[in-house]
Amino acid sequence: MAMHKITVTVNGTPHSAEVESRLLLVHFIRENLVMTGTHIGCDTSHCGACTVLLDGEPVKSCTVLAVQADGRQVMTVEGLEQNGTLDPIQEGFMQEHGLQCGYCTPGMMMTSYALLKRSKQPTEDDIRHAISGNLCRCTGYVNIVKAVQYAAAKQQ
């Protein structure tokens, strides 16, 4: 198996490694970098538990090869909190009971974070469509929508 030297900047810190061509970005993040907040929930890009931002855009890191992230910026759930201050989206999920088992939560927050970067005042419909690629089996989404609205209001 061919090996490749890559450098991926994750949450602002560059990480260099030699990886197999086939190594998935999600495994690079979870196993090479031991940042386990990004989860794996399916094999078909449907559940979104592995969502991270690649150059600011949400991607499903189970469907991106680590080599494709070479030279690019990745942001994971671990990058949301800054200097001990929670991001409004994290605060929103906690305040509005937007999570239960916590497994889909990191991916759900990354997708929501990206939504709020491009849309300051999303409607409920906007939010529901934005997170429709992230499955949650516990909450029924009602409080996730409220969590995103909380963060949107907080950012105003």
Partner 1 sequence: MAPKTTAEVGGMGHSIKRKEDPRFIRGQGHYVDDVVLPGMLYLDIVRSPFAHAKITAIRTEKALKVPGVLAVITGETLKQYNLHWMPTLMSDTQMVLPVEKVMYQAQEVAGVIATSRYAAADGVEAVEVDYEPLPVVVDPFKALEPGAPVLRTDKKDKKDNRIFHWEVGDRAATDKAFAEAEVKVQQDMYIPRIHVASIETCGCVADFDRVRGKLTVYMTTQAPHAIRTVVALVAGHVGLSEEKIRIVSPDIGGGFGGKVPVYPGYVIAIAASVVTGHPVKWIEDRMENLQADSFARDYHIHAELAAKKDGTMTAMRIKTVADHGYTDAAANPSKFPAGMFSICTGAYGFKNAFAEVDGVYTNKPPGGIAYRCSFRVTEAVHTIERMTDVLAQELKVDPADLRFKNFIPPDQFPYHSVLGWDYDSGNYAGALKKAMDIIGYAALRKEQAEKRKKGELMGIGISSFVEIVGAGPSKHFDILGIKMFDSCEIRVHPTGKATARFGTKSQGQGHETTYAQIVAEELGIPAAHVEVEAGDTDTAPYGLGTYASRSTPVAGAAGAMAARKIRDKAKKIAAYLLEVSEDDLVWEPGKFSVKGAPQKSKTIQEIAFAAYTNHPQGMEAGLEAVDYYDPPNLTFPFGSYICVVDIDRGTGMVKIRRFVAVDDCGNIINPMIVDGQIHGGLTMGMAPSLLEEISYDENGNISGGSFMDYLLPTAVETPKWETDKTVTPSPHHPLGAKGVGESATVGAPPAIANAVVDALAHLGVRNIDIPITPEKVWKILKEKGVAE
Q: Does 145 bind partner 1 (CB under 8 A)?
A: yes
Sheet holding 13-20, edge to edge: 13-20, 3-10, 73-75, 51-54, 57-60
What phi and psi, each to the nearest 5 degrees, are found at residue 69?
-95, 0
Residues 69-88 that bind partner 1 (CB under 8 A): 76-78, 80-81, 86
Stretch touching partner 1 by CB under 8 A, among 2-10, 63-71, 103-111, 113-121: 103-111
Q: Does 56 bind partner 1 (CB under 8 A)?
A: no
What's the distance, CA 89 to chain centroid?
12
Structure tokens at 15: 């990480």
Q: Does 60 bind partner 1 (CB under 8 A)?
A: no
Q: Does 3 bind partner 1 (CB under 8 A)?
A: no
Please provide the DSSP assignment of 70-116 as one string: TT-EEE-GGGTSBTTB--HHHHHHHHTT--SS-SSHHHHHHHHHHHH
Q: Does 115 bind partner 1 (CB under 8 A)?
A: no
Q: Which is nearer to partner 1, 9 or 138 (CB)?
A: 138
Interface residues with partner 1 (CB under 8 A) are 20, 22-23, 27, 30-31, 34-44, 46-47, 49, 76-78, 80-81, 86, 90, 93-95, 97, 99-106, 109, 124, 127-129, 131-145
